[in-house]
Structure 1
C-alpha cells in the first residue's frame, strides 16, 4: 500500500487515481478496483471514525441519493456488506470537500526491525551449523551408547 507523504501539504497517494473532470458515472457491479474503509483512511490520512462520518450512509436507506458534500459508497444489496468506494469518488471528495490539491507518488519501504535482524542472524547461524554438519565424514555417535559407557566407568556415589 502506498502511504501518504508526511507534512501538511495536503497530498494524496495514487490510490485515489487522477482527478476526474466530471463526477464518475455508475460502475458495473464488480468489486474490482474498489477500495475499502482502510484504504480510504490511509489515502485521506484521516481516522477511521472520520471516514465513517464523511460517508453518505443512512440506517433507513441502504443506498441514499448522491450527496456532493459526503463520500458516496458504491451500490450495496445488503446492509451487512462492507462499504466500498470507487477511487474517483474518493478523489472527488478529497478535492471538493477536503480541499486536498495534489496527488503524489511515494513508496515507502519498511525499515529493518530488531526482530528481523535477530531472525536473520539466527538463520545465518543455523546455515553455518548445517554446513559444518554436512562436512563431517562420520555420523554423530548415539547418545545412549555414550551414556552407557560413561555410566559403567564411573563409580556409584
Structure 2
C-alpha cells in the first residue's frame, strides 16, 4: 500500500494530505484552503498539469464556475496565490479525473494562541460559577446583602 503524508505543522493551514493505492486524493480540514503544492501532491500530478486543470483566465480575475476545471477560491488581486477548497479538489478528482474513491476528512486544527486564551477564560468562568454556586447564604437582594455586611462589620 502506497502511503504519503504531509506534516500538518509544515503544511499551510494545518492541511494533511494522504495518498493510498485506491484513494489518490484525500484532503483533510475542509475549512482550510490548500495551495498548488498540496493539490499537486494530493492528485499525484505535476505542477504544470495542475495549472492546466485550473479555471483561470488572464482577462478575468475570477472566471465563472466551470465543472470541467479545478476552480480556485475568490482572489482580490492577480498577484494573490491560487488557493483551493478541499471539497473542490475532491470534486475535481472524482468528477473530472475519474478517481474511483475520494474521501474528504475533517480533522481538528492545531490549537492556536487565541483558542488557548479562550479556553483559559472559559475555565476561569467555570471556577467563578462553581464558587458562586457554592455560597450557602447568597443574598437574593441588595438589602439582605447590606444587612449581612453590617453584621460582619460589627
TM-score band, normalised by shorter chain: 0.5 to 0.7
TM-score (normalizing by structure 1): 0.51
Deviation at 1:36, TM superposition (A): 0.4
**Structure 2 CA distance for aligned equivalents of residues 44 and 12 of structure 1:** 5
Is 1:64 the counterpart of 2:63? The answer is yes
Superposition RMSD in Å: 2.1
**Structure 1 CA distance for aligned equivalents of residues 97 and 56 of structure 2:** 18
Deviation at 1:65, TM superposition (A): 0.5
Contact 1:12 1:43 in 2 (8 A): yes
Structure 2 gap ranges (5+): 1-5, 7-16, 105-154
Is 1:13 the counterpart of 2:17? The answer is no
**Structure 1 CA distance for aligned equivalents of residues 103 and 92 of structure 2:** 17
Deviation at 1:93, TM superposition (A): 0.4
Give the number of equivalent residue pairs.
89
Question: Relative to structure 1, is the Cα distance of residues 14 and 87 closer, same or farther in structure 2, using a 3 angstrom cutoff?
Answer: closer
SS in 1 for 2:59: coil
Give the match for residue 137 of structure 1.
Answer: none
* Larger Rg belongs to: 1
Give the match for residue 122 of structure 2.
Answer: none
Alignment of 1:26-45 (within 5 A): 33-45=32-44
Higher-RCO chain (CA-CA 8 Å, sequence separation at least 6):
1
Deviation at 1:103, TM superposition (A): 3.5
Structure 1 gap ranges (5+): 18-31, 106-157
Is 1:4 the counterpart of 2:15? The answer is no
**Higher relative strand content:** 2
TM-score (normalizing by structure 2): 0.52
**Structure 1 CA distance for aligned equivalents of residues 32 and 38 of structure 2:** 12
Deviation at 1:13, TM superposition (A): 2.3
